[in-house]
Amino acid sequence: MPDTQTADPRAADRAAEIEALAAELRERRRRQGLSLEALSAKSGVSRSMISKVERGEAVPSTVVLSRLAEALGTTFAALMMPASAEAEVLVIPRARQPVLRDEETGFTRRVLSPVLPGRGLDVVHNTLPPGAATGAFTPHRSGVEEYVWVLRGRLLAQLGEAEVPLEAGDSLFFGATIPHGFSNPGTEPCEYLLVIDSSSRR
């Protein structure tokens, strides 16, 4: 029997997050009348991977999750966090903020913003280990914009064919309808805030 005093306190939370993501992805796909094959064709993600994610047997990389979200016409945060009722004040304790971590690269995304009906704003805290990269994100649909603010370390943004180096304190805005991705060329972890604004699509 595991020692509950020494067990990883995040293990249960991670399991719950994976289960919630699986259920949300499955529900959104079925609600739109998409088969696994249809969502695979629309997103470019293999049928077997989608099936594994829906069964909670695989944790998708951030790139895979972004492709699925775009194909379903939703956002990364909406797949990771259940929708909340409209509220003037809404607190999301750190322990309840969904976290997605790529085991291969160590790239970590923490969702800071609530998912509110009629809103299209995701705020995500990202951490990239030294030398790591996010991979190439699928271009969003017309009207989606992204804002980046580097909290610490160095960040290299790949926007289409352009490379944009950023230092701590620098900010960046771009229309996210082009292929884009980020990497850490530095020797220390890079932390940055990413705001994805899809409100004009709604």
Alpha-carbon distance 193 to 183, whole Å?
A: 14
* Tens digits of residue pLDDT in 98-113: 888 888 899 999 989 8
CA separation for the pair 49, 81 (Å, rounded): 20
CB 160 within 8 A of CB 179: yes
Which residues face 192 on adjacent strands? 126, 150
Sign, CA torsion 60/158/187/98: negative
Single out the residue of 153, 146, 160, 161 nearest to residue 131, CA to CA: 153
H-assigned helices in the chain: 11-31, 36-43, 47-54, 62-71, 76-80
Pairing of strands 108-111, 155-159: unpaired
Give pLDDT, residue 13.
Answer: 67
pLDDT above 70 as % of the chain: 86
H helical segments located in 81-125: none
Average pLDDT of the segment spanning 106-130: 86
As a whole number, the mean pLDDT across the chain is 86
CB 154 within 8 A of CB 166: yes
Alpha-carbon distance of 150 to 170, in angstroms, equals 6
Task: Give per-residue pLDDT as tens, 30-84.
Answer: 999 999 999 999 999 999 999 999 998 888 888 888 889 888 888 777 787 766 6
For residue 190, give both structure tokens.
Answer: 């890079």
- Residue in 193, 149, 187, 143 with CA at minimum distance from that of residue 167: 149
pTM of the model: 0.73
Structure confidence at residue 1 as a pLDDT band (50, 70, 90): very low
Structure tokens at 101: 């971590």
pLDDT value, residue 4: 46
What the chain holds in terms of domains, given with CATH numbers, is 11-80 (1.10.260.40), 94-201 (2.60.120.10)
